[in-house]
Amino acid sequence: MPGNMKRCGMWSLSEVDRRGCRRPSTPGGRKCSVLVLGRLQKSSAARAHIENYCCIDGREGMGLLKQARTKAEGSGAVFIEEDVVALSAINGAFTAELEGGKSVATKTLILAMGISRNKLEFPGEKEFLGKGVSNCVDCDAGFYKGQDVAMVGCESGAVTGALTLLFYAKAVHLICGKLEVSGPLGERIRETAIQIHEGAVIKEIVGQSAVDEVILEAAFYARRQS
């Protein structure tokens, strides 16, 4: 294994093939030790207002991403704003095919494509994301101190989230078609002040600049049973 392979995470596939990994480089031919692929604007932070992050005052996510990129570039990282369209393992190295047609080979590959949350697809969900609609209790519960909060979900994640919210919110509502937790967790939630709206789904979220109201309707299965 060439000594420089330990220092350089990425180099072009053509260089690997021709020279046995001796000349690490990006597809454009530049040497680099860290190559970052993907697009800033596709980060989940790109359109978010980041309020709750170590050592910064609240600011727009895109600004934070650009600052992070500048810092990383200052430390030698190279960015290529292209998606990986295929991955394979050849001769002990990974090969990533980029959307532009070039390929990159690397001994070390870190996958950090983010996550996408389940969408419930009711009106207002997308519009009010970050303005009263949250996807993460542990991240955002502190924003709802002293407020009325509705948690959506029927299983253990929603129930434990609703129990956490009790420490912050004035009132906690759990909206779920049919509560699907058993044992101590199921008993515990029924002993708390959480208002459980079984057989309900969210019809719409309404508000001006942030969420004002959550409008419920009966879940389909509940109507069918009645």
CB of 114 to ligand FAD, least distance (A): 3
Q: Are the C-beta atoms of 41 and 62 separated by less than 8 Å?
A: yes
The per-residue b/e assignment along 73-100, b for 16 or more CB within 10 angstroms, e otherwise, is eeeeebbbebebeeeeeeeebbbbbbee
Counting Cα atoms < 13 Å in the Cβ hemisphere of 146 gives: 0
Q: How far apart are CA 169 and CA 149, in angstroms?
A: 6
CB of 51 to ligand FAD, least distance (A): 4
Alpha helices in the chain (DSSP H): 4-7, 13-19, 61-74, 137-140, 156-165, 183-191, 220-225
**Residue placing its CB nearer to ligand FAD in the complex, 46 or 171:** 46
**Residue placing its CB nearer to ligand FAD in the complex, 52 or 195:** 52
CB of 52 to ligand FAD, least distance (A): 4
**Residue placing its CB nearer to ligand FAD in the complex, 111 or 193:** 111
Site residues (CB under 6 A) for ligand FAD?
37-39, 42-45, 48, 50-53, 83-84, 112-114, 129-130, 139
**Residue placing its CB nearer to ligand FAD in the complex, 14 or 43:** 43
**Residue placing its CB nearer to ligand FAD in the complex, 38 or 207:** 38
Strands 211-218, 84-90: pairing is: unpaired
CB of 91 to ligand FAD, least distance (A): 22
Q: Which residues, including other chains, have CB under 8 Å from residue 59's CB and lie 6 or more apart?
A: 49, 50
Q: Is 159 exposed, middle or buried (0-12, 13-18, 19+ CB in 10 A)?
A: buried
CB of 133 to ligand FAD, least distance (A): 8
**Residue placing its CB nearer to ligand FAD in the complex, 113 or 210:** 113
Q: Are the C-beta atoms of 94 and 88 separated by less than 8 Å?
A: yes
CB of 198 to ligand FAD, least distance (A): 29
